Chains A and B, each alone.
Chain A
């Protein structure tokens, strides 16, 4: 047990900030901002230390027994670190963004308190070393996001919150049943120790298949796989920073990450393949990718379109891991990071348009590129990345997905990828066209729905710079993919661990 305090401290940075924020009075604006930013920076620093330690081959483990046969375990591995790095980076950006976004609204104390809890759960999910710990933080995530979804307190938000809870709590229950069943079957399941299940596979394969499906059912609600995605577009009523984090890191990604853990670290890719379960995943992912894109095409408002785009894009991760072979793994892992960066950028932009100009519908965006050039540039980068054009990060994901499909002997997946890319282009390019090439209020035609001048530049500094930063990151992740510590490098590390024991 070397340096057990590091994962614990990482968790504590946001977990302990929450009660302090709750204790501060509502008016203590600066104290709260400083506290939030300091915690976010500290967490990022701790994660960097752990990533470096991981490369040097050190391991960080913290654990204690909860009841006999069940333990609380925090463990650092490459897969978890990818997710932890992503969430701590985006937490920093989103904290800055949220401080600006909520500048004049009420209930900020409640918002930031639950926001910290939400990030603490995400970090907990990424550091979890066994299924019990994972489940614990997975449910905590549900609870801490509910107040954020209903933050506005109007009937629409409350209805969305209820729907969200119905989906996620039921899914959590299904997951709980699956995890308990696994415990009854083989005892504690530590991530990465796959021998027990492999040993069982010979005589109990129907049972294992059934359990896998139960666990998958529990996880796929948060991952918004197709028949279970209904809550995600409705949850759009939440404030922009919440949507951004929900879609990029917290909830959706937690579900996808859970599926990754299930396939790689509980069952093991070899066993999953042998049980014939990868085909199920591929099928689900392809259906979700195409369905999400088609629904996105039909949306007239910006945020719902982005939401359905998330439904589609997250399934790339699932598709990647379902392709048997190192390239598929790399594709899935790397998209976990890339999609987060690009999607968070897009949501920041949507929030900026709504805050500065009052724009919610897509047809109101005409000529916004002239009024808000930096935001629109960031949006363009994100959108191009989503379509998969080089050199933005999304290209790397799609390239490796294609390679993975060939390696797994499923070339028809490439057809799905092409179709999806065309659909992505079909719903993003018209927006870009409106932004840059249509004349609008900025050219003296008509008026913005509700224009406010929030800052020196095109909008408030708090809102602008996180947007620009994440856009830059998604560009750099594509350009510098070959360098050490890039998402691709980490993903390759994970894939090597998985296929070369």
Chain B
């Protein structure tokens, strides 16, 4: 399993790769500061500037696909930071840059229409966004606990800052709760790291993988690390902060948060489990049980939710439950099962990120159009805002996991893995999750088809905002048919099982 994470790479970094990675980390910060300075008004400008990190990622892709997995260290004084780059990293980097591009291009229009006065928040958006993207990239690249800690904390604080930007009481109260929980999570993470450091005297994952031996110390450390990360990932019993935060946040921020920030914590947790406790099948089943509860409870709450954004936020809780099933399917199973589950997990992550971002943007557009937060406000939407509803619908197809979407292909793989491993409960979970997600999604559509609906206040919204949501949704839809490409990326770098 460690080979798949690219931690055991023997190759030193190719010339230039380290520099480009630093560029990739620094560029968003620089662009963020520039954004605060110039406060762009046009999405097109932002999009074309945001292409730069995407180009850098593409260059890395080219380089790594010819030279194979790379791992190297970066010396900062007496400290050595471990970085690595493999297929999975590249996939996540590409996803991050693409989604950032979409959200950033969406933001100026949103600020113009939804946030009328030139508030201070509008200026703060860009540097915070830049910090968040840089820290996300750092998390995907990091191969030691110190770097992961730095990335996690930066990301968490930037995310809290972004959530506070609307500045009204609800946003601030929800943000305060988020801040406290995030801080608690980071303390638990730090304590876990401290125990690992005390026990084995090193922080690089590859070294720890060989050094650690099972025992109470390792288990306690893993419990603390997992608790902190799952709290930040809004896994089931620790999810209560998520819905209020999203209900009042700005739409492009919500999109990025649900698509990437939560996934980053999940990514770190899964990576740590695979590296440090690759045989803890019982504990993994426990996490699987949490995932089950998340799928069911999140689905039910989304079904009952009164506000459009709440539906989308609760569906994040539910969908994250699918991802948690990766733990029991990857840990303690045969290599053949793990190989399928590995592909299914990352495809599910990518599919959900794309679909959820598209859904948030589309939902934001619908809310802007109607000026109505409640689900009932969608009445008659299918006639008046067909494009926004279409984007929402296509994203929903992927979320429910209907063909030909990426969500479907991912679910296919997960089902295959569960069946091949003989884990019947997960089969049931996936089935129930599908039905519940269909229930809450089609509840929204049902409202949109009502004909004799009262007209709510209509607003003009730039067409580009609709287009971005539609493009993201289409990406989630069509990725299901060309899943061979991202999955090929996962295994391209000699990490075959």
Contacts and interface: CB of A to CB of B under 8 A. Distances in A.
B386 interface: yes
Contacts of B450: 153, 158
A72 B442 contact: no
B438 interface: yes
A165 interface: yes
A139 B390 contact: no
B383 to A, nearest CB: 6
B449 A136 contact: no
Contacts of A107: 382-383
| Most chain A CB inside 10 Å of its own CB: which residue of B413, B416, B435, B449 | B449
Contacts of B487: 67-68
Nearest to B419: A184
Contact of B343 (A67, A110, A151): A67
A180 B408 CA distance: 12
A173 B434 contact: yes
Interface string B431-447: 10011001000100110
B383 A177 contact: no
A143 B405 CA distance: 13
Contacts of B403: 135-137, 139-140
Chain B at the A interface: mostly helix, strand, loop or mixed? helix
Given A110-B382, A143-B397, A162-B442, A177 B416 contact: no
A322 to B, nearest CB: 29
Nearest to B491: A68
A169 B438 contact: yes
Contact of B449 (A150, A176, A180): A150
Given A161-B446, A161-B449, A173 B415 contact: no
A483 interface: no
Classify chain B: how many residues form its interface, as a range: 35 or more
B404 interface: yes
A70 B343 CA distance: 13
Contacts of B435: 169-170, 173
A143 B484 CA distance: 25
A371 interface: no
Interface string A97-126: 000000000110110000000000000000
Nearest to A106: B383
B404 A140 contact: yes
- Give the most central of B380, B383, B386, B412: most A CB within 10 Å: B412
A154 B451 contact: yes
A142 B481 CA distance: 19
A66 interface: yes
B427 interface: yes
A183 interface: yes
B390 A67 contact: no
B419 A152 contact: no
Interface residues of A, number: 41
B409 interface: yes
Contacts of A64: 484
A66 B484 contact: yes
B415 A180 contact: yes
A140 B343 CA distance: 24
A410 to B, nearest CB: 36
Contacts of A184: 416, 419-420
Contacts of B47: none
Contact of A181 (B408, B419, B446): B419
- Dominant secondary structure of chain A at its interface with chain B: helix
A152 B451 contact: yes
Contact of B416 (A66, A110, A154, A183): A183
Contacts of A273: none
B52 interface: no
A147 B449 contact: yes
B20 interface: no
Nearest to A174: B431
Contacts of A177: 415, 427, 431
Contacts of B446: 150, 158, 161-162
A135 B415 CA distance: 15
Interface in B356-402: 380, 382-383, 386, 390, 397, 402
A22 interface: yes
B431 A180 contact: no
Given A110-B382, A153-B449, A165-B442, A173 B409 contact: no
B492 interface: no
Contacts of A147: 382, 449
B413 A67 contact: yes
Contacts of B380: 153
Contacts of B404: 136, 140
A56 interface: no
A65 interface: yes
Nearest to A165: B442
A26 B411 CA distance: 37
Contacts of B416: 180, 183-184
B483 interface: yes
Contacts of B409: 66-67
A153 to B, nearest CB: 3
Contacts of A140: 402-404
B451 A67 contact: no
Contacts of A136: 403-404, 408
Contact of B402 (A72, A139, A162, A183): A139
A157 B390 CA distance: 20
A180 B415 CA distance: 7
Contact of A180 (B412, B481, B483): B412
Interface string A61-78: 000111110101000000
A107 B450 CA distance: 12
Contacts of A72: 481
Nearest to A153: B451
Contacts of B480: 66
Contacts of A172: 402
B129 to A, nearest CB: 32
Contact of A158 (B412, B434, B449, B481): B449
Nearest to B403: A136
Contacts of A170: 435
B412 A70 contact: yes
Given A67-B343, A153-B450, A180-B419, A110 B386 contact: yes
A177 B416 CA distance: 9
A357 B343 CA distance: 59
B451 A22 contact: no
A24 to B, nearest CB: 12
Contacts of A22: 386, 390
A74 to B, nearest CB: 13
Nearest to A23: B387
Nearest to B415: A180
Question: Chain B CB within 10 Å — which of A22, A150, A165 has the most?
Answer: A150
A68 B343 CA distance: 10
B238 to A, nearest CB: 29
A151 B487 CA distance: 39
A183 to B, nearest CB: 6
Nearest to B414: A180
A173 B380 CA distance: 29
Contacts of A70: 412
Contacts of A162: 442, 446
| Most B-side CB within 10 Å, residue of A68, A110, A154, A172 | A68
Nearest to B432: A173
Given A173-B435, A183-B416, 12 more contacts: A64-B484, A68-B487, A72-B481, A107-B382, A139-B403, A140-B402, A143-B402, A147-B449, A153-B380, A158-B446, A165-B442, A170-B435
9 contacts: A22-B386, A68-B484, A136-B403, A143-B402, A153-B451, A161-B446, A165-B438, A172-B402, A177-B431
Interface of B: 343, 380, 382-383, 386, 390, 397, 402-404, 408-409, 411-413, 415-416, 419-420, 427, 431, 434-435, 438, 442, 445-446, 449-452, 480-484, 487
The 5 A-B pairs with the shortest beta carbon distances in the complex, nearest first, are: A153-B451, A136-B403, A180-B415, A184-B419, A150-B449
